[in-house]
Amino acid sequence: MKLPHPASLTTRLGLLFALIATLTFAGVGTYLYQSLTSQLESHDDLELIGKIALIRHFLLETSSVKEIQDDPHRFLDVAAVHDGLIIILKSADGNILMQNHSDHGALSTLPVAAANQTPGKASLGRWTLNPGLSARTVSAWGVLGNTHEQVQIIVARTDSDRMALLRAHRNKVFAAVFFGALLAALSGYIVVRQGLRPIRAIAKQAQSITAQRLEMRLDVTAAPKELQMLVLAFNDMLDRLHRSFQRLSQFSADLAHDLRTPINNLMVQTQVALSQPRSIEDYQSLLASNEEEYERLARMVENMLFLARADHANFVLNKQRLDPYNELQHIADYFEGIAEDAQVQLAVDARGSLEADPILFRRAVNNLVANAIRYTPKGGVVRLATQPMQEGMAITVTNPGIGITPKHIPLIFDRFYRGDDARSDSASSTGLGLAIVQSIMMLHGGRAEVESAPDAMTTFRLVFPSSS
């Protein structure tokens, strides 16, 4: 079979894996990058504070400002100045005494730590020397040993080497994220493919089920836990299909059988009549007897057609609000003659109202009443009543009699199902009456049910839901 082309689950999960891996790696990478950045920064800050201490010590051993101005290199040597380090000394009145870097734009405006203080957070910070060059910087007062003159010390460390280091690190993180995601996508794809194997196995099993092998079921024990529900549901569906299929086969067999009997009767009677010359009266009685069979056939075909139409989803109901008392009384009047012949009484006890298609309502109740009269012994009473229910209104038809044995109860609503005694009475019984009742109730969104105790009371109940 040609499959449509939706995104494959494997690809989708593989990509999702890759996305999750990318986000996770990127998050972890960013975190590590940030912590490396701040660690390097605080490392630099410690170096700056160390330089301040060193320079203060040197100043204490220096007798005058002039000494610094005269030989700045000696000073720089002592301070172990390297490439990225900028040192500026200013006198208390703001004159620059010494600097190893002149291209520094505006000087940092950070607070200056007092001479007797180790510089803290407040005097540490970033200083943009000029566009493209920034530095960590700290500033503190130092004191000359001899004159006790105050000198401002500014130490800065340019960021460029740190930045280069971080850049290299960042590139490594990018590469790791990229390859990590690729690896995750690939392994995700493989893992998902592997994980979906049971589905393919189930599909293969399902493929081998055909109409001739509807009794086959998928193997629940072989399915993984997550798929067991699906497999069970599928097996349930097969059960239902199997039953429907069997019923359908049974239905065609019954239909053929039920059509054969009247047609055979017609054929045999006609053949016998034609085998020798007959009187007009003989022909007339033959035709009269044939008419009965034709009526039976016509009724059967009409019932079949009704059931076929009711099976269609587009059957239109003409729902109306009905007064059950009027309706049941009307039906009782209609059956009066038949009931009298059978020496059975009809009693109506109804109130309330319900919503139904009037023609179908009458047809359903008629079928029940016809059955009830047939199975009620002489002198019995068939009761037609209403029964308010939670979901709406029910009509009940109750009769005394032989009842229905429990094992037959699930079958009596099936098409062509007839009790053994009804089967012999083939002129009036087609076995479609209750099937039609059932169909009508389905059309109304309601249900038909029966309660029966053998040799006691049988009650058929039609539940019409109230439209909310």
Residues that bind ligand ADP (CB under 6 A): 367, 371-372, 375, 399, 401, 403-404, 412, 417-419, 422, 429-431, 433-435, 458
Structure tokens at 200: 């393919």
**Least distance CB 404 / ligand ADP (angstroms):** 5
**Least distance CB 228 / ligand ADP (angstroms):** 40
Q: Is 401 in the site for Mg ion (CB under 5 A)?
A: no
SS3 state of residue 227: helix
Q: What angle do CA 8, 11, 15 make, to 5 degrees?
A: 140
Which of 18/332 has CB closer to Mg ion?
A: 332
Which of 162/415 has CB closer to Mg ion?
A: 415
**Least distance CB 317 / Mg ion (angstroms):** 23
Q: In degrees rounded to 5, what are phi and psi of residue 357?
A: -75, 120
Pick what 418 binds: ligand ADP, Mg ion, none; C-beta below 5 to 8 Å, kind-dependent: ligand ADP
Pick what 375 binds: ligand ADP, Mg ion, none; C-beta below 5 to 8 Å, kind-dependent: ligand ADP
Pick what 398 binds: Mg ion, ligand ADP, none; C-beta below 5 to 8 Å, kind-dependent: none
Which of 158/371 has CB closer to Mg ion?
A: 371
Pick what 62 binds: Mg ion, ligand ADP, none; C-beta below 5 to 8 Å, kind-dependent: none
Q: In degrees rounded to 5, what are phi and psi of residue 82?
A: -115, -175
Which ranges of 312-419 does DSSP label H, i.e. alpha helix?
Answer: 324-334, 336-341, 358-375
Where in 48-107 is the site for Mg ion (CB under 5 A)?
none
Whole-number Å distance between alpha carbons of 105 and 123:
19
CA torsion sign for 237, 238, 243, 249 is positive
Whole-number Å distance between alpha carbons of 209 and 205:
7
347 CB neighbour count, 10 Å cutoff:
12
**Least distance CB 289 / ligand ADP (angstroms):** 21
SS3 state of residue 402: coil
Question: Could you give the C-alpha distances from 310 to 34, 42, 418, 421, 444, in angstroms and in order?
Answer: 73, 85, 21, 28, 11
**Least distance CB 352 / Mg ion (angstroms):** 27
Report the residue number whose CB is nearest to Mg ion.
433
Beta-strand relationship, 320-322 and 381-389? unpaired
**Least distance CB 338 / ligand ADP (angstroms):** 13
Pick what 139 binds: ligand ADP, Mg ion, none; C-beta below 5 to 8 Å, kind-dependent: none
Which of 265/366 has CB closer to Mg ion?
A: 366
**Least distance CB 436 / ligand ADP (angstroms):** 8
Which of 56/362 has CB closer to ligand ADP?
A: 362
Could you identify the residue written with the tokens 């130490």?
A: 155
Q: Is 433 in the site for Mg ion (CB under 5 A)?
A: yes
Where in 363-382 is the site for Mg ion (CB under 5 A)?
371
CA torsion sign for 399, 405, 409, 414 is negative
**Least distance CB 462 / ligand ADP (angstroms):** 13
Pick what 158 binds: ligand ADP, Mg ion, none; C-beta below 5 to 8 Å, kind-dependent: none
**Least distance CB 282 / Mg ion (angstroms):** 33
Q: Which amino acid is at 147?
A: T
Report the residue number whose CB is nearest to ligand ADP.
419
Which of 99/265 has CB closer to ligand ADP?
A: 265
Which of 180/433 has CB closer to Mg ion?
A: 433
Whole-number Å distance between alpha carbons of 180 and 186:
10
Whole-number Å distance between alpha carbons of 333 and 94:
125
Secondary structure element (H or E) that encloses residue 171, with its range: helix 160-195
Secondary-structure breakdown of the chain: helix, strand, coil percentages, each rounded to the nearest 5: 55, 20, 30
Residue ranges in contact with Mg ion by CB under 5 A: 371, 433
